[in-house]
Amino acid sequence: MKAANFGYLRLLELDQALRALAQGDGAAKPMGGGQSLGPMLNLRLARPAQVVDVSHIASLRTVRVAGDWIEVGAGVTHAEIEDGVHAPLAGHPMQQVAGGIAYRAVRTRGTVGGSLAHADPAPDWVVTLAALGARVRLQSPRGERSVDADGFMLGAYTTVLESDELVVSIDVPRQAPTTRWGYHKLCRKPGEFAEASAAIYVDAP
């Protein structure tokens, strides 16, 4: 199948993207790497009047340390995390998890923020970030708010995101030397969605 007709905007500034989403009044949809939204468009499971491409917004593609937290931009790709492109995530649990997401071609385009916003129950970040105690930062023309990762997803393909909001970053705790963690998923074959997954993250005494 092919997607239904839609308008397309590729924007370079966060403020522009937020205005476009607000002006869409629920009929505009943001797109990062397109690995989730693209198939839904082609299957006509999603029919937005406007697609707002946020993949080239520089502020969404940064990673920085802020105290005990690492702020991961929503536009950072799985492959960048896997490859240790961003020093604060080198050796972090997120690096190992990223390397097991789908296939390399998907990891090269797919973004952590897009995966979360899509809210498919099977992908890796939903359960991993909840176990890490991460926080999801959302922004709209009305302001900014932070939501705990374990409360961000309300159900399959359903989140607390309002129609004019965008995931701008995910804040994860820096890994302490005493931290112990694990992640495991069951798939029919490597690269496919998990049939079941579990994660644990604890500070050992």
In this structure, the number of other CB atoms found within 10 A of the CB of residue 9 comes to 17
Tell me whether residue 102 is exposed, middle or buried, using C-beta atoms within 10 angstroms of its C-beta: 0 to 12, 13 to 18, 19 or more: middle
Measured between alpha carbons, how far is 171 from 169 in angstroms, rounded to an integer? 6
Residues 119-173 have pLDDT tens digits of 988 889 999 999 999 999 999 999 999 999 999 999 999 999 999 999 999 999 9
What's the longest Cα–Cα distance across the chain?
A: 57
Does residue 204 surpass a pLDDT of 80?
no
pLDDT at 71: 98
pLDDT for position 205: 63
CB environment 36-68: b (16+ within 10 A), e (fewer): bbeebbeeeebebebbbbbbebeebbebeeeee
Distance CA 111, CA 117 (A): 10
- Of 184, 34, 173, nearest in space to 113 by CA: 34
Burial 115-153 (b: 16+ CB within 10 A, else e): bbbbbeeebbbbbbbbbbebbbbbbbeeeeeebebeebb
Q: Which amino acid is at 34?
A: G
27-80 confidence digits (pLDDT tens): 999 999 999 999 999 999 999 999 999 999 999 999 999 999 999 999 999 999
Average pLDDT of the residues of the chain: 93
Residue 87 reports pLDDT greater than 70: yes
